[in-house]
Structure 1
Amino acid sequence: MAVGIAAFFLSSCGETTDDQLVVYSGRSQGLVDPLVEDFKEQTGINIEVRYGNDAELLAVMSEEGDQSPADVYWANTTGALANASQKGKLVTLPDSLTSKPASYTSSSGEWIPVTVRFRTLAYNPNTVDPEDLPESVMDLPDMDDFDGRIGWTPTYSSFYDFMTSMRLIEGEDVAKEWLEGMMSLNPKSYSSNTPMLQALAGGEIDIALTNHYYILRMKHGSTGTQSTDTDSDTAMDSDSDTSMGSGEIDPNATVEMYHFAEGDVGNLAMVTGAAQLATSDNAEKAQQFLSFLLSKQAQKFAAESVHEYPVIRDVELPDYMLDAEKAFELSPEYDYEQLKQLEGTLNLLREVGLI
């Protein structure tokens, strides 16, 4: 049973003490551990991190109930945070925290955004002229020239968020029509983004629906993170923290990034975030940790290590990343709390036969 396995994994991390801050993290160790060590050094606060994907962590917290030792939930998706909020597991945060981010704030006031990722279209410049690509992701099903040459990850969590937003923005019927149109082009399905981009660079496909940071990691690598690939064929595994191994980095890889027109759902912003849990007995320390995640130091580290966008102002980005203001303008506006409406997306994917 998945919940039992997850609970065993989490509980195996060690016993907690009253003066210890416990963080349940849907983000991977490559990003989290260095920041946790910095926080410990700066504050002297003892902190333990227990890892799992968002689905596992939500299940474990439900199983633990009021006896959960967790103080902070650091999630990979805002849908998971909205789910936790809906179940009464989060507390309202003070204005001193919620006012820090410059954008992508929570409408519930129960979590803070930490970083932002964007959906994008990757293409092979040896076979594709970007001038021939559509202005909207909604028009991809009309691109008959790409029959059998499109890559996507229909069982992956970021694709679920993308489709949930499409359902909410464009409507259920339009989303279903888009999926059926895409399927008529015989796209190649991949279990995760890294092998898909490797196939793109290798000439097996011409275009691929992915997240921006995978392209940047392939071409520029990562700094400050462990070289571990957390990509998995399990649908709800974290898909934001994968670091390309040093031997796989190729600045000349034949993969480029294409942005759809401003406001298009194909440029969807996907937010990671963190919250204080209602089970916490260490509210002051929990909020201190959340504040640290919004510090310039932590935000800069996230930008440089995994190439995600900061949510506070005046953080310098690597020169190969699109300017933050321009990137933020590309995404449509939507309420990130609505990503909790995942079940409707899963039902739609089942209906068309993708899962």
Structure 2
Amino acid sequence: MRRPSVRRTTALVAAALLLPALAACGSGDKDGGGEGDASSLVIYSGRNEKLVKPLLDKLEKAVGAEVEVRYGDSAELAAQILEEGDRTKAGLFFSQDAGALGALSKEGMLQKMPAATLDKVDEAYRGSDGDWVGLSGRVRVIAYNPDKVAEGDVPDSVFDVVEPEWKGKVGFAPTNASFQAFVTGMRVLEGEDATREWLQGLKANGAKTYTNNLATLDAVESGEVSLGLVNHYYWYERVAEKGEDGVDAELHFLPGEDPGALINVAGAGILADSGQRETAQKAVDYLLSEEAQTYFADETKEYPLAAGVTSTVEDLPALESLESPDIDLGKLESLQETLAVLRDVGLV
């Protein structure tokens, strides 16, 4: 087996997510809307229904309460929670990315979790204020077409893909939330000037744009581009579907704590004013259980984050072996600034 070497967010939505005025909606009389019903749980899920419904159906039995799930884009749902304030119907926010959880944490919307829950997950994958926790992880990688580029010639830094030798040979999805989260991470790690310069270089170098990670991976496989900036699990899902011999791309995991090796997480936060804290806490603990963590590993090909649970995906590098950058994932909430840079550069 070939060994790999070591998902839509608009500017309008992102701006809404971070509008200070929305936080102000959290003040005022509760009208009973935030009291909730301790015998039920409302989950706002930024994760795709098709992807997580089987797991959330099991969660309902595990918590012993009726569970209602409202699906949508993570940033949009976070904006809705901020607008609803203490009247929100949500008891639990199940986010596709750390940035949306960071935005709610920043506005004091989330309940601190007990140490017994937080300690199940490495501190790198949970909120620094102890009010959200990662459930599954994914790493940014470079997909490459081995008929176009030898493994040893694949860049070891995302900064190198703007070099002249890669002119017109790189694919990426600038409007995709995972790419925007990665660029936000680069801003946090390297500063806005360096990030802007890299984005300008990417555009000037004729990098080709696609709608999402899957389309980018398709372009790599077809040879339309030699390299693609994607999340790791798309490749593993495709291999599980087609077999490795049916996938004309390989993966390169970036070394040296490069920004291109960002590990982002899907995670959960309990809404502080919903009146559903006890049931929501049970839900979080279930999502960190071996059963749920194994679901993420087997069904989504993501990294399980709870201690003691390891991925069952063949040839997936161990999480602890990845040389990802050291970053407070909560700071990925500064998406509005990222979108402003992307607009200025002309990529969205």
TM band (smaller chain): 0.7 to 0.9
Give, in angstroms, the shift of residue 249 of structure 1: 6.8
Matches within 5 A, 1:1-355: 19-103=39-123, 104-142=125-163, 144-221=164-241, 251-317=245-311, 318-327=313-322, 330-355=323-348
Inter-partner Cα distance in structure 2 for 1:349 and 1:80? 19
8 A Cα contact 1:220 1:251, kept in partner: no
Q: Which amino acid aligns with 1:287?
A: Q
Inter-partner Cα distance in structure 2 for 1:98 and 1:83? 19
**Which segments of 5 or more consecutive residues in structure 1 lack a partner in the other structure?**
4-15, 222-247
TM-score (norm 1): 0.84
Give, in angstroms, the shift of residue 172 of structure 1: 1.6
Runs of 4+ in 1 over 3 A off after TM superposition: 248-251
**Gap change, CA 1:249 and 1:69, over 3 Å in 2:** farther
Q: Which amino acid aligns with 1:311?
A: L
Residues 104-158 of structure 1: CA deviation (Å, up to 9, x unaligned): 122011101111110000000111102112221112211x232212101111111
Q: Which amino acid aligns with 2:72?
A: G
Inter-partner Cα distance in structure 2 for 1:125 and 1:205? 11
**Gap change, CA 1:43 and 1:278, over 3 Å in 2:** closer
Give, in angstroms, the shift of residue 268 of structure 1: 0.6
Give, in angstroms, the shift of residue 58 of structure 1: 1.8
Structure-2 residue corresponding to 1:237: none
Inter-partner Cα distance in structure 2 for 1:54 and 1:135? 31
8 A Cα contact 2:148 2:226, kept in partner: yes
**Gap change, CA 1:279 and 1:209, over 3 Å in 2:** same
Give, in angstroms, the shift of residue 179 of structure 1: 1.1
Q: Secondary structure at the match of 2:256?
A: coil
**Which segments of 5 or more consecutive residues in structure 2 lack a partner in the other structure?**
1-11, 15-35
**Gap change, CA 1:350 and 1:42, over 3 Å in 2:** closer
Q: Which amino acid aligns with 1:119?
A: R
Give, in angstroms, the shift of residue 250 of structure 1: 6.3
Q: Which amino acid aligns with 2:113?
A: L
Which stretch shifts more, 163-172 or 16-25? 16-25
8 A Cα contact 1:217 1:249, kept in partner: no
Inter-partner Cα distance in structure 1 for 2:114 and 2:13? 35
8 A Cα contact 1:31 1:302, kept in partner: no
8 A Cα contact 1:24 1:73, kept in partner: yes
**Gap change, CA 1:271 and 1:41, over 3 Å in 2:** same
Q: Percent of counterpart pairs with the same letter?
A: 37
Inter-partner Cα distance in structure 2 for 1:71 and 1:50? 11
8 A Cα contact 2:13 2:75, kept in partner: no
Give, in angstroms, the shift of residue 203 of structure 1: 1.5
Q: Which amino acid aligns with 1:107?
A: S
Q: Secondary structure at the match of 1:191?
A: coil
**Gap change, CA 1:282 and 1:17, over 3 Å in 2:** closer
Inter-partner Cα distance in structure 2 for 1:64 and 1:43? 25
8 A Cα contact 2:199 2:345, kept in partner: yes
TM-score (norm 2): 0.85
Which stretch shifts more, 131-140 or 47-56? 131-140
8 A Cα contact 1:54 1:80, kept in partner: yes
Inter-partner Cα distance in structure 2 for 1:352 and 1:292? 43
Give, in angstroms, the shift of residue 41 of structure 1: 2.8
Q: Secondary structure at the match of 2:269?
A: strand
Q: What's the C-alpha RMSD, in Å, of the aligned pairs?
A: 1.9
Give, in angstroms, the shift of residue 2 of structure 1: 7.7
8 A Cα contact 1:152 1:189, kept in partner: yes
